[in-house]
Amino acid sequence: KSVSIPGLSQNIGTTCLSGDTEIAMGDGSFAAIESLVGAAPFEVVSVDADGKATIEVARDARPTIEDDVLAVYLSNGRVVRSNRTHKFRLLDGDWLAAGELQPGTALTPCEGAEGPHIEVVKVVPTGSREQLYDLTVDATHCFGLSSGVIVHNSSATNSGYGARIGEYQKEIKEA
């Protein structure tokens, strides 16, 4: 028996990416976020508060929730699939949730503020609901994607509903 609560993640701010989203690893390779579940801490591309590219330690890649998925189309031809609350780093250093991105919004590239200019082309609902994933980067709270942009992380140790919703959904399904 499965129960889903549409819109729950929008209300509590759980941020998540599709399982096949490729993370920009510190060694220059890419790995699907779902393949990192259970991995020992690993290095990822990130940016500091000033927008300078850096390599940071990430941990706790994990399934989070099942949610509706948006496709964020980028000017470099790439697409990022996330839920509507997943935050993207803007070129000016602010953060904006996927569901609030508009065409022409300039995003921070993985190379830092001096990297190639990447803009949002469009954001569209995919019509699918998927198991989503996230990870934690303690130092900078963000990480790079193979699509060339920086997104926010979430904390696996957060005691709020967002950190526990995946477990709640699992319990409901097993009931």
Q: Give the DSSP letter string of 71-139.
A: EEEETTS-EEEE-TT-EEEBTTS-EEEGGG--TT-EE-BTTBTTS--EEEEEEEEEEEEEEEEEEE-TT
Other beta carbons less than 10 A from residue 71's beta carbon? 17
By mean pLDDT, which of 60-69, 105-114, 138-147, 161-170 is the weakest?
161-170
**pTM of the predicted structure, to 2 decimals:** 0.83
pLDDT at 166: 46
Distances (CA, A) of 96 to 8, 29, 33, 145: 19, 26, 21, 16
In this predicted structure, which of 53-62, 72-81, 147-156, 165-174 has the lowest mean pLDDT?
165-174
pLDDT-based confidence at residue 155 (cuts at 50, 70, 90): confident
Report whether pLDDT(91) > 50: yes
